[in-house]
Amino acid sequence: MTQRTYYDLLGIAPEADLERISAAYLRLSRELAASADEDVEGRQKQLKQAFEVLSDPVRRTAYDAGLNGQSSLSFRGGASLPVEVALGGTKRNPVRVLLTIIATLMIVGLVIQVGVMFNTYKRVNEVVAPDATSPAAEKAYLQDFYQTYGIRAASREEADLLLADMRRKEAAEREKGVQERQLEEQERAQRRFEEESRRLGAQVTAANQRAEEEAQRAREEAERRKEAQERAQQEAERMKRESEIARFRNRSSSGSE
């Protein structure tokens, strides 16, 4: 017997997105409701089961892992298709990967910028004050450090340590800001996905209801046709009996004369 998967049942490719999966399910549900298939309910359940698995990211990941890990998966008319297997791994979130790359590039750029500024500052000091170790140069440096940062340092070495610590804190704050923006973007992406899933779920629910109503009307119409045929057959038999009785009476009347 031909082996089939949920993708084969819905007529879609394994890389199909949620919109394609929903469109295929709605189309097949309508076609099935309009058909004269005797097993409408069974096939409708199979389509619904396939959609529920493939429209759920976690269950679809498990199902795909099962397809890759098994050598033979078959589909038989009334049996359920192979669905969830143990979740072997979680797919990496493309949004998370992209934001991680962007954050890394931003941090590297900031580090490079700080390094360039520090080297430029050193070169300017070397040109303006060749003897940076002199007491006058150190006093001017400490005065400039105080005016810039509002901190009094006892020596040039202490000022350099304080400056390095401030830069580390600034880099940590920037990294924290990047992580917060990354988390917000992930939350927005999750909300968009949930809203889209609810919208498609509402469409599928409405389509299921319409399909069930159309299937019920088809069954009622078939019952009405069957009853009409039975009544027509009974009427024909009754008329046939009455005709035979009339002929019998006519022969009896002719014989008595």
pLDDT above 70: percentage of residues in the chain: 80
Domain ranges of the chain: 6-91, 94-192
Tell me the per-residue pLDDT of 147-192, one tens digit each, with 9 for 90 and over. 899 988 888 888 888 888 888 899 889 989 899 999 898 999 899 9
Question: Mean pLDDT throughout 28-38?
Answer: 84
Tokens of 71: 């050598």
Q: Which of 90-94, 206-210, 237-241 comes out lowest in average pLDDT? A: 90-94
Model confidence at 80: pLDDT above 50? no
Whole-number Cα distances in Å, 165 to 145, 160, 161, 162, 198: 14, 9, 6, 5, 49
Question: Residue 96 — pLDDT band, cuts 50, 70, 90?
Answer: low
Amino acid residing at 242: E
| pLDDT value of position 131 | 55
Sign of the torsion formed by the C-alpha atoms of 223, 227, 228 and 229? positive
The answer for residues whose C-beta is within 8 angstroms of residue 90's C-beta and 6 or more apart is: 61
Q: Which CATH superfamily hosts domain 6-91?
A: DnaJ domain (1.10.287.110)
Q: Give the best-scoring range by mean pLDDT among 57-71, 85-99, 130-144, 210-224.
A: 210-224
| pLDDT value of position 87 | 36
Question: Residue 1 — pLDDT band, cuts 50, 70, 90?
Answer: very low
Instruction: Give the position of tokens 């493309």.
Output: 94
| pLDDT value of position 202 | 87
Tell me the per-residue pLDDT of 135-146, one tens digit each, with 9 for 90 and over. 888 888 888 888
Tokens of 121: 């500052």
Question: Residue 126 — pLDDT band, cuts 50, 70, 90?
Answer: low
| CA gap 213, 207 in Å, rounded | 10
For the chain, the average pLDDT equals: 81
| pLDDT value of position 77 | 39
8 CB neighbour count, 10 Å cutoff: 14
| pLDDT value of position 72 | 43
